[in-house]
Amino acid sequence: MHVPGRMTGKHGESGTSTKTHKTIHLFRKGLRLHDNPSLVWALESSRVVYPVYVLDRIFLEGALRTGALRWRFLLQSLEDLHIQLAVLGSRLYVVQGRFEAVLRHLIAKWGITQLTFDVEVEPFYARLDEDLGAMGKELGLSIHTCVAHTLYNVSRIVEVNGGHPPLTYKKFLQVLSTMGEPDRPAREITAQDFLNCPTPVDASEEFRVPSLEDFGIVVESEVLWPGGESHALKRLEKHFESQGWVANFSKPRTIPNSLLPSTTGLSPYLSLGCLSVRTFYHRLSNIYAQSKNHSLPPVSLQGQVLWREFFCTVASATPNFTCMAGNPICLQIGWYEDTEALKKWRTAQTGFPWIDAIMTQLQQEGWIHHLARHAVACFLTRGDLWISWEEGMKVFEEYLLDADYSVNAGNWMWLSASAFFHQYTRIFCPVRFGRRTDPDGQYIRRYLKVLQNFPSRYIYEPWTAPLEVQVEAGCVI
């Protein structure tokens, strides 16, 4: 039996399901129907189910630092989810307001007896889960949760490692080797599920997915990464058409300044849960099983998924993970406080064309190659400006479509040599590194129009060009 207000499910207390509940299924990050075990539970244990997304703008723009491009991606993902639910005879209820207040109103209005949702690892979601548990106990609700945003229950990884997180990737893989393969994805959800457990469809305007215009948000850049589960699955299938590319993928061999992504480009969809990480992982396993030779972690595609899992695990058990102060794994470094230099880095005005081209792409598209991220992070921190990684993390969190609490902070600590990695002398030169893979500077020409007529010889160091060359190119340094 469920205990009111207790978190139950596969990774908590077990329970038996009978179709007696009126359930709200809370979508938070897992904005998808495939591999959604908590929604499957809701459908199998309820008379009616209300799929709900609480759009708490204060939370999204405060704790999550959601910028304009991320807002567009989120709203597109919600609209896509609403359409997928409608195809199955249901709908998505989007409600705006503070999380707990909104839920209390809906629970009373609809006579709700059960909440279902996925477990998250970020501290602000953990606090929210505690609040939901307390509210459930107060109101006599059953609460059922499942792990679906990570491959494993990260708390279990920490437990197997003796109660503390593994702090090296090698140790992390050793721990996983004792735990077996991740769970298979949950079963498919069909229209029959919603015939057996219908959603009372209310066409009221108050529950629609809002638009950018509703929030006064203006985004003029082209949509290169449309949000939503349907787009995630199409992108997945497109990449998996080339099984040889998948089997032989090696991340260091991808190109940081390619005009087209040389990686899968699935990270935004994994971050928001439009694509299941377990589905991705097991599809990769199937391809690897058919290949005599394939790349291995840490550089393989499966290795990239495990890097994500590594950072989620460490973040879940490390206090103040996104800060230097009070963070037990982070070196305490006397970074400079230089607001002018930080502003120039953020706004692509450093004067180094390759760095500025990367930051321009970030602002316009919400995505940059992982090696490009390495370059601008190194430039901001230990390489050139000696500004705290926390400042760079905040900028990435605002702009990146794949911004993720654990992965973003973990990578910034790594790249600034504050944690995980301490080879301080390995620096990304802001001139030579980009020139090595794009000697003609086509990437710079695309994102820095002011330099599009510059000769290739000078495009990475325009200040070295003779004045007459600068005049002829239409850009005098």
423 labelled ligand-binding: no
Let me know: does 243 contact 291? Beta carbons within 8 Å: yes
Q: Distance (Å, rounded) from C-alpha 273 to C-alpha 36?
A: 10
> Could you tell me if 69 and 399 are in contact, meaning their C-beta atoms sit under 8 angstroms apart?
yes
Is 267 annotated to bind a ligand? Reply is yes
**CA torsion, points 216, 362, 239, 434, in degrees to nearest 10?**
170
Whether 403 has a binding-site annotation, put simply, is yes
For residues 9 and 144, the answer to whether their CB atoms sit within 8 Å is yes
How distant is the alpha carbon of residue 247 from its chain centre? 24
> Is 263 annotated among the ligand-binding residues?
yes
Q: How far is CA 106 from the centre of its chain?
A: 29
User: If you compute the radius of gyration of the chain from its CA atoms, what whole number of angstroms results?
Assistant: 24
Tell me if 265 is assigned to a ligand binding site.
Answer: yes
The reply to whether 310 sits in an annotated binding site is yes
Q: Is 183 annotated as a binding residue?
A: no
Residues sharing a CB contact under 8 Å with residue 260, sequence separation 6 or more, in sequence order: none
Task: Determine if residue 307 is labeled as part of a ligand binding site.
Answer: yes
CA distances from 302 to 1, 147, 264, 284, 311 (A): 38, 19, 12, 7, 15
Give the number of other CB atoms < 10 A from CB of residue 215.
15
DSSP per residue, 172-240: HHHHHHTT-SPPPPPPPP-HHHHHHS-------GGGSPPPTGGGT----S--SS--SHHHHHHHHHHHH
> Position of tokens 């510059």?
454
* Distance set, CA 146 to CA 40, 115, 431 (Å): 10, 12, 47
Annotated binding residue at 116?
no
CA nearest to 416, candidates 340, 327, 297: 327
Distance separating alpha carbons of residues 270 and 32, to the nearest angstrom: 11
Neighbours of 253 (CB within 10 A): 10
304 marked as binding residue:
yes
**Which pair of structure tokens corresponds to residue 410?**
């973990």
Q: Which amino acid is at 276?
A: S
> CB within 8 A of 141, min separation 6: which ones?
4, 5, 107, 112, 113, 114, 115, 135
CA–CA separation, 355 vs 375, rounded Å? 7
Q: Which residues are annotated as a binding site for FAD?
A: 263-267, 304-311, 402-404
Q: Which residues are annotated as a binding site?
A: 263-267, 304-311, 402-404
